[in-house]
Amino acid sequence: MAELKHFYETFQPKHYDVYIDIDREKKLISGKTTITGAAQAQEISVHQKYLKVSAVQAGNQDVPFTTDDQADTIRITLPAAGDVTVAITYTAPLTDTMMGIYPSYYQLNGEKKQLIGTQFETNAARQAFPCVDEPEAKATFDLAIKFDEHPGETIISNMPEKSEKDGVHYFATTVRMSTYLIAFAFGEMQSKLTKTKSGVEIGVFATKAHQANELDFALDIAKRAIEFYEDFYQTPYPLPHSYQLALPDFSAGAMENWGLVTYREALLLLDPDNTALDTKQLVATVITHELAHQWFGDLVTMKWWDDLWLNESFANMMEYVSVDALQPDWHIWETFQTSEAPAALQRDATDGVQSVHVDVEDPAEIDSLFDGAIVYAKGARLLVMVRALIGDDALRAGLKNYFAAHQYGNATGADLWSALGAASGLDIGAIMHSWLDQPGYPVVTAAVKDGQLTLSQKQFFIGEGQDVGRQWQIPLNSNYDAAPAIMKEKEVVLGDYAKLRAAAGKPFRVNVGNNSHFIVKYDDTLMQDILTHTDELDDIAKLQLLQDLRLLADGRQISYATLVPLLPRFADSHAAVVNTALYRVASNLKRFVTPDSPEENQLKAFYNQLSADQLARLGWTPKAHESNDDQLTRPFILSAALYGKNGAAIAAAHDLFKANADKLASLPADIRFYVLANEVHDFGSADLVDELVAAYRETTDGSYKGDLRAAVTQTPDKALLAKLIGLFKDPDTVKPQDLRSWFYGILANHHGEQAAWDWLRNNWQWLEEKVGGDMEFTTYITVVANVFRTRERLNEFKAFFEPKLNTPGLTREIQMDTKVIASRVDLIEAEKDAVNAAVAKEIQ
Ligand SMILES: [Zn+2]
């Protein structure tokens, strides 16, 4: 356990001279850090982790110090309080944990190579050099870096290189910034550079294992994104350059280090000639997310980690705002509706979920704060709600003032609300308080009671939940004027329903546009009215209808069986958003059938029926100039047709495979996975799996790699699955960053579930050592909870994880996931027969 006091209170660094010498061969870091700052006491502490400190000097004199590895600290006794210069000499190991300074491994022409990079958020800068490793402790930095350099190697950092002398690379002094945003990287790299209108140098860097044109897409998006933000924020980009670097080993998705953003290769680089539209959209939103942070997070930083949401929720909203401006034809807000909205609504319905704003001190708990569905998705949804309330003009004006007031410093959520409040004239803080500081969200029940149209709010739970009477200030966005803009009360009566219905001339709806974070339960009268007028619903409304009903069914407020007859009504929609919501419901029906049972065959027939007309319309091969909706819909249809055992679809996929057997990578990226998966599943052999695994090791194309991984894990052959599990600890095949996806693929394959689950239990300690120090660790528990659906598995899950409940950072995840599985098991046991009967009724 680390110390919980903020070191910044007793020691405020102003400037760091950081000298680091890295020996890759010996896996050793040696360094000397000189910190100039103000000491409020004679005893100060700075952070360190895994550092072996040999000397501490204050004003050129050795001073007493002790290191405490449990508390991540060096405690230093100064001659006196006041302005001081402290120099710390140390060595440290160069470790492979994807935290601190670490090597990424890759191959070039069969030769093993390394690229050294850094990952300091949240608290790993202290692994590289001693520092007050707290976001508030902003200072300027002079970096000087030496390494066992070979000809042809490059080094880059937050700032441009100023000079090189005796193998030491000196970088220009940084602006005032937080330690967790420092970054550098060196090795053999290729790059592409350009300049923004305002003269900022934009660069994309990658290993030479990639084709040069894989850097082009990112360069274009990054350049236009910086230009967009300079305009939108009305605040210039504060550094001379903005570099994007793809690292072969990277734990998170990307990291917003100021001026040197790091990414997973698959989230930065892509083949411009063969990449699916949704992959391009994903890469673009990742880049625009990180670049949004260059201001919101880097220029102005949260004071402490409890306001992490300020950084992440905001960047998560801005990634969509900017991509919508850069590529308006993509309609990227539709992706927000199909990805962020359902992720937030699902997770936020489990009792015990964290609120967006969380009080936190312990570093292990800080890492577990990065709950993607809450801090990112829900937080972004809340800010979208604010944006809808105040409009873009007030948002931009407020942000401009916020940046001006806090630049190169820190801020809290309250500072943002006061800036937006001043610009809009609304008390944003009061509205947002109920959303940020409370976990969960309401279900608004709309009902006609004694002729009166009535709305009431109540917290929505999936699974067991304790109702403590939470209430929210809900932006209703109703299509009836009688509804208030904000519903603060537990219940409101809107008036005589018959009169309101006649005056409006359309069915009553709330949360039009689906931008507020709540779901709606209409009573029978209101729901029947909506369902008899579905032609009048736009695509987002159809998505919302299916999504809200699915959640209500998960929460046992309605039966899943009532959803089954709705699916054929929307199955011919050409809108990708509708198909995404529809097939999400359909996918949940798979939980109610046992694999290879007559009930499953019936469900397959239903799938085939749902997808048949669309399959005939869209076909297997993407057409030139087809709509984005068709491109994004096809994968759902192919997936459904293959699960539905559509003979023509299976044969067509097999033919495509045979015709492209010697050039599988060149199969159209939109359909490649389905062709490969079909082959592995229905026509597979050990040789084929070997061949695809070899291709996986070879290729540098991230999306092809993903297709290969997902396809091979679909094999029904238990011996082959065991062989794949045997690769989990072979980093030359399965990189630690990709292990979870491999694990999940096999766990979700019912032929592999037992073996994958056994592997996890037998190797938990190894896994903890490998990725335990990292914010992705808890998601191994989450993916297990996504799959399990029987009481036996629930009991096994509890038996294994309950003894780990007190592990810092795991507590909440274990408690929540136990509830997730338990509620699913209860649901299946209660509704299995009714759901399968409803499916049987639909089959013609
Ligand atoms: Zn972020």
Q: Which pTM value belongs to this model?
A: 0.96
In the predicted model, is pLDDT for residue 599 greater than 70?
yes
Neighbouring CB atoms inside 10 A of 101's CB total 26
Cα(308) to centroid(ligand 1), Å: 9
Cα(370) to centroid(ligand 1), Å: 9
Cα(255) to centroid(ligand 1), Å: 7
Give me the percent of the chain exceeding a pLDDT of 70.
99
pLDDT level of residue 431 (50, 70, 90 thresholds): confident
The amino acid at 400: K
Q: Residue 122, preceding bond cis, omega within 30 degrees?
A: yes
pLDDT score at 662 = 96
Q: What is the pLDDT of residues 130-178, one digit of tens each?
A: 999 999 999 999 999 999 999 999 999 999 999 999 999 999 999 999 9
Q: Is 43 a catalytic residue?
A: no
3-state helix, strand, coil in the chain (%, to 5): 45, 20, 35
In the predicted model, is pLDDT for residue 58 greater than 90?
yes
CA gap 435, 429 in Å, rounded: 10
pLDDT level of residue 125 (50, 70, 90 thresholds): very high
Cα(728) to centroid(ligand 1), Å: 29
Classified as helix, coil or strand, 443 is strand
CA gap 726, 728 in Å, rounded: 6
Lowest mean pLDDT among 314-328, 417-431, 636-650, 673-687: 417-431
In the predicted model, is pLDDT for residue 1 greater than 50?
no
In the predicted model, is pLDDT for residue 234 greater than 80?
yes
Instruction: Tell me if 266 sits within 8 A of 702, measured CB to CB.
Output: yes
CA gap 232, 411 in Å, rounded: 20
On the 0-12 / 13-18 / 19+ scale of CB atoms within 10 A, 160 is middle
Cα(404) to centroid(ligand 1), Å: 21
Average pLDDT over residues 482-507: 97
Cα(7) to centroid(ligand 1), Å: 25
Q: What is the pLDDT of residues 678-733, one digit of tens each?
A: 999 999 899 999 999 999 999 999 999 999 999 999 999 999 999 999 999 999 99
Classified as helix, coil or strand, 210 is coil
CA gap 667, 435 in Å, rounded: 46
* φ/ψ (deg, to 5) at 562: -75, -15
Cα(251) to centroid(ligand 1), Å: 14
Edge-to-edge order in the sheet of strand 11-23: 61-62, 52-58, 82-93, 28-39, 11-23, 140-147, 168-171, 161-165
* φ/ψ (deg, to 5) at 164: -135, 135
Lowest mean pLDDT among 83-97, 155-169, 251-265, 424-438: 424-438
Average pLDDT over residues 223-243: 97
* CA distances from residue 394 to 304, 401, 420, 833 in whole angstroms, order as listed: 27, 11, 7, 54
Cα(512) to centroid(ligand 1), Å: 29
Which element (helix H / strand E) includes 397? Answer: helix 379-406
pLDDT score at 2 = 42
pLDDT level of residue 418 (50, 70, 90 thresholds): very high
Q: What is the pLDDT of residues 377-414, one digit of tens each?
A: 999 999 999 999 899 999 999 999 999 999 999 999 99
Contacts of 358 (CB under 8 A, 6+ apart): 306, 369
Instruction: Tell me if 346 sits within 8 A of 316, measured CB to CB.
Output: no
Lowest mean pLDDT among 171-175, 433-437, 659-663, 744-748: 433-437
Q: What is the pLDDT of residues 766-823, one digit of tens each?
A: 998 887 666 678 899 999 999 999 999 999 999 999 999 998 888 999 999 999 999 9
Which element (helix H / strand E) includes 86? Answer: strand 82-93
Cα(64) to centroid(ligand 1), Å: 40
Give me the percent of the chain exceeding a pLDDT of 90.
92
Average pLDDT over residues 1-14: 80
Average pLDDT over residues 209-214: 97
* φ/ψ (deg, to 5) at 72: 55, 35
pLDDT score at 5 = 78
Instruction: Tell me if 576 sits within 8 A of 334, measured CB to CB.
Output: yes
Cα(9) to centroid(ligand 1), Å: 27
Among 168, 188, 189, which residue's Cα sits nearest to residue 30?
Answer: 168
Q: Which is catalytic among the residues 121, 134, 227, 290?
A: 290
pLDDT score at 362 = 76
* CA distances from residue 70 to 47, 130, 363, 704 in whole angstroms, order as listed: 11, 15, 12, 43
Cα(283) to centroid(ligand 1), Å: 14
pLDDT score at 368 = 73
Cα(119) to centroid(ligand 1), Å: 13
Contacts of 413 (CB under 8 A, 6+ apart): 307, 309, 310, 357, 432, 436
Average pLDDT over residues 278-296: 98
pLDDT score at 3 = 44
Q: What is the pLDDT of residues 525-557, one digit of tens each?
A: 999 999 999 999 999 999 999 999 999 999 999
- 369 or 712, which is more confident: 712
Output the average pLDDT for the chain: 95
